[in-house]
Amino acid sequence: MIAFLKQPWPWYFSGIMIAMIMLTLIFFGKSFGFSSNLRTLCSMAGAGKTVKFFDFNWRAQIWNVLFLLGSIFGGYIATHYLSNPEPLELSTKTQNDLKELGIHFNGKLNPDELFSLSALNNPKSIILLLLGGLLVGFGSRYAGGCTSGHAISGLSNLQLPSLIAVIGFFIGGLIMTFLIFPLIF
């Protein structure tokens, strides 16, 4: 069984699973999104006593918090116990592009120059993480949801604002990848 779980699965498997989850959520009248958990957690902590936005029945959203926790624990289990220990395969062109930016590919999913405790010794990394977190937090609140909420749940419900948000996410990703990221590094 473990050997079956450790093998590479077809790319379409995750799409099928997402579709099944979305059909279940639609059937039960629920909408999905990870950023809404921040509002729920703040409400659970009592923020609703001082800020009206957090004053709602958070118990109705506890399923979403459990889904978030399951995703975190599932990711941990998959990474530490079910993943293939072989290095990732990355095209030579992508490795050369990363090298030009000062990022060394060492076969891991996330480069150490950006995603390690030693990266926190660099003030530039700390500023980028804080600024990135601020922009993601502001953007998800301003857009009324995060990428998973709009791209998965919103599009499944055929919501036009979610389509506009997803198009904006892609345009923003392209701008970041080809214009801003090379300037930063």
Q: State the residue for tokens 């590094």.
A: 185
In a domain, 14, yes or no: yes
pLDDT at 47: 93
pLDDT of 175 over the 80 cut:
yes
The answer to whether 42 touches 54, Cβ cutoff 8 Å, is yes
The secondary structure of 104-154 as a DSSP string is ---SSSS-TTTSSGGGGGSHHHHHHHHHHHHHHHHHHHHTTS-HHIIIIII
User: Is 17 a domain residue?
Assistant: yes
**Considering the domain boundaries, does residue 26 fall inside one?**
yes
Assess contact for 149 and 38: CB atoms under 8 A: no
Q: How do residues 82-124 score in pLDDT, each as one tens digit?
A: 887 788 888 999 999 888 888 889 888 888 887 888 888 888 8
Alpha-carbon distance of 172 to 166, in angstroms, equals 10
pLDDT digits (tens, 9 = 90+) for 13-68: 988 998 898 888 888 888 777 888 888 999 999 999 999 988 999 999 998 899 89
Is 98:77 a contact under the CB 8 Å cutoff?
A: no
Taking residue 154's Cβ as centre, other Cβ atoms within 10 Å add up to 24
* pLDDT tens sequence across 118-139: 888 888 888 988 998 898 888 8
Domain presence at residue 103: no
Residue 1 has pLDDT above 80, yes or no: no
Residue 167 maps to a domain: no
Domain assignment present for residue 45? The answer is yes
Q: Which of 19, 84, 93, 30 is nearest to 62 (CA)?
A: 30
Say if 27 falls within a structural domain: yes
Q: How many domains does the chain have?
A: 1
Domain of 51 in residue numbering reads as 1-83
- Judged against a pLDDT cut of 90, whether residue 155 lies above it is answered with no
Give this prediction's pTM: 0.70
Cα–Cα distance for residue pair 139/131, rounded to 1 Å: 12
- Would residue 126 count as lying in a domain? no
Residue 44: per-residue pLDDT: 94
